[in-house]
């Protein structure tokens, strides 16, 4: 069984396609890109930016022939710094026009749930191609960083907008902290936290 590995630049096209497929019906991305006909194309642009950001600013893991990916932000590294924040705003403005400001505010509200007073790993994106969901690939790409968390005594955080995924995260030690509405008509995000496990 292939173990998870760090992704490289050559993996970007396949990982972009995998994550776009994985999130086509996700509550958060469906709110960001509400037109079902446009969403697949828009998700390609979104996930391309996400994967490139993960490669350069965080920990990008892949497994199963690029059919699963996890993008982590390590302690004290902000994924959306000035450069990547500007790229995200530019992408959303191109795709959404006047609605981009509302979406950026909603995303900022979600990211504000992350603690800023303690080092932690942050799982920004986890996705498995629909044809491989339930095969264990998702677990494979998160476990390397969870092992680092346990070894170094660090918590891990994430937000989930899809209730179907909560049981997966709970099996890996995450617990729901609260519920956040990203906008009046937006989905509910559930910040989750995992305490480090002692060996």
| DSSP assignment string, 143-156 | HHHHHHHHHHT--E
Tell me the CA distances in angstroms from 28 to 43, 66, 119, 198, one per residue in order: 12, 23, 26, 33
Higher pLDDT, 44 or 130: 44
pLDDT for position 161: 92
Residues 185, 52, 143, 4: is their CA dihedral positive or negative?
positive
**Residue 135: which residues within 8 A CB-CB, separation 6 or more?**
64, 128
Average pLDDT taken over every residue of the chain: 91
- Is pLDDT at 52 greater than 90 in this prediction? yes
pLDDT for position 29: 94
pLDDT band at 116 (very low <50, low <70, confident <90, very high): confident
Under 8 Å between Cβ of 142 and 123:
yes
CATH numbers and ranges of domains, the chain: 6-194 (3.40.630.30)
Q: What 8-state DSSP symbol labels residue 9? A: G
Under 8 Å between Cβ of 192 and 175:
yes
pLDDT for position 1: 57
Query: For the whole model, what pTM was predicted?
Result: 0.93
Under 8 Å between Cβ of 29 and 46:
yes
What digits encode the pLDDT tens for the residues 139-161?
999 999 999 999 999 999 999 99
Higher pLDDT, 190 or 131: 190
pLDDT for position 185: 82
């Amino acid at each position: 069984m292939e173990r998870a590995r760090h992704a490289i630049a050559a993996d970007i096209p396949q990982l972009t396609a995998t994550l776009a497929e994985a999130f086509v019906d996700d509550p958060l991305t469906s709110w960001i890109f509400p037109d079902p006909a446009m969403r697949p194309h828009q998700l390609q642009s979104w996930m391309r930016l996400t994967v490139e950001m993960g490669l350069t600013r965080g920990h990008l893991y892949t497994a199963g022939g690029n059919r699963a990916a996890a993008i982590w932000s390590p302690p004290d590294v902000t994924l959306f710094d000035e450069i990547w924040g500007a790229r995200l705003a530019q992408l959303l403005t191109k795709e959404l026009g006047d609605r981009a400001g509302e979406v950026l505010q909603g995303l900022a509200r979600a990211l504000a749930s992350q603690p800023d007073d303690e080092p932690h790993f942050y799982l920004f994106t986890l996705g498995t191609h629909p044809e491989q969901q339930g095969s264990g690939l998702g677990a494979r790409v998160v476990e390397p960083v969870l092992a680092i968390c346990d070894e170094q005594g660090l918590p891990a955080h994430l937000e989930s907008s899809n209730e179907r995924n909560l049981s997966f995260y709970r099996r890996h030690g995450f617990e729901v902290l609260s519920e956040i509405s990203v906008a009046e008509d937006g989905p509910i995000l559930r910040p989750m936290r995992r305490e480090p496990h002692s060996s």
